[in-house]
Every structure is written in C-alpha cells, then in structure tokens.
C-alpha cells in the first residue's frame, strides 16, 4: 500500500509540474502579447504625432512666408493653425488615454502572472510534501 501511495503522490507531483509548466507558458505568452500590444500602440501614436507635426510645420512655414498684403489670409491661416492645435491636443489626449489603458492592462496581466506563479510554486511545494510524507 505504501508503494502505491508513493506512486500516486509521484503522479500528482508530475501532474502539478505539468500543469505548472503549461500555465507558466500561457502566462509568458500573455505577457509577450501584452508587451507587443504596448509596442504597437506606441509606434502608432508616434506615427500619428509625426504626421500631425509635419502638417503643423508646413502650415506655419506658409504663414511665415506670407507678406503683409495677405493679412486677411494670414489671420484665417492663424485661426486654422489654432484649430489644428486644438485637434492635436485632443488627439494627443486620446492617444495618451489609450496608452494608459494598455499599460493598465499590461500591469494587470503582470499581477495575474505573479499570482499564478506563486500559486503554482505553492502547489509544487505542497505536492513535494505529499510525496515525501506518504500517509
């Protein structure tokens, strides 16, 4: 009966280790996906910001080239630049919020991974105790 108990304990320990490895793999995969998502979001934000900056610079250069005889057009362009800056601020705010949400999700996943790893480690300790002290 003792050998059968040891065999069952060993089987439980092996199962716990297999489950631990599978969960750890799933956690690492989720971590990698989360990091990839953050990197992609940052690249997307940078591309949008670079594009908007180019447009603002182009309009600013055009306004600077205008002479005093184009005062009305210059005033219109300056209003347009003001509106563009408002849009820019709104876009940057929205992008910052999206990035913040992505980072929050990443942090949540990191907390879950830590919790799962601690749980798996504790299961392995418990299974080792069971296999080394068969009843």
Q: Kindly report, residue by residue over 52-86, the tens digit of the pLDDT.
A: 889 888 888 877 777 666 666 777 878 888 888 88
5-14, 45-54, 90-99, 121-130: range with lowest mean pLDDT: 5-14
Q: What's the mean per-residue pLDDT of the chain? A: 80
pTM: 0.47
User: How far is residue 116 from each of residues 21, 27, 62, 65, measured CA to CA in Å?
Assistant: 11, 8, 58, 62
- Banded pLDDT at 4 (limits 50, 70, 90): very low
Say if residue 2's pLDDT is above 50.
no
What is the rounded CA–CA span in Å between residue 100 and residue 91? 14
Say if residue 103's pLDDT is above 60.
yes
């Amino acid at each position: 009966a003792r050998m059968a108990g040891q065999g069952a304990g060993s089987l439980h320990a092996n199962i716990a280790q297999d489950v631990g490895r599978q969960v750890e793999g799933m956690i690492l995969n989720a971590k990698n996906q989360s990091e990839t998502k953050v990197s992609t979001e940052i690249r997307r934000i940078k591309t949008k910001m670079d594009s908007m900056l180019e447009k603002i610079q182009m309009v600013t250069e055009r306004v600077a080239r205008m002479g005093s005889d184009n005062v009305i057009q210059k005033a219109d362009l300056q209003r347009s630049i003001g509106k563009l800056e408002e849009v820019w601020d709104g876009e940057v705010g929205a992008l910052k919020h999206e990035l913040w949400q992505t980072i929050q999700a990443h942090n949540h996943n990191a907390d879950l991974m830590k919790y799962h790893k601690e749980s798996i480690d504790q299961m392995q300790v418990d299974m080792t105790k069971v296999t080394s002290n068969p009843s």
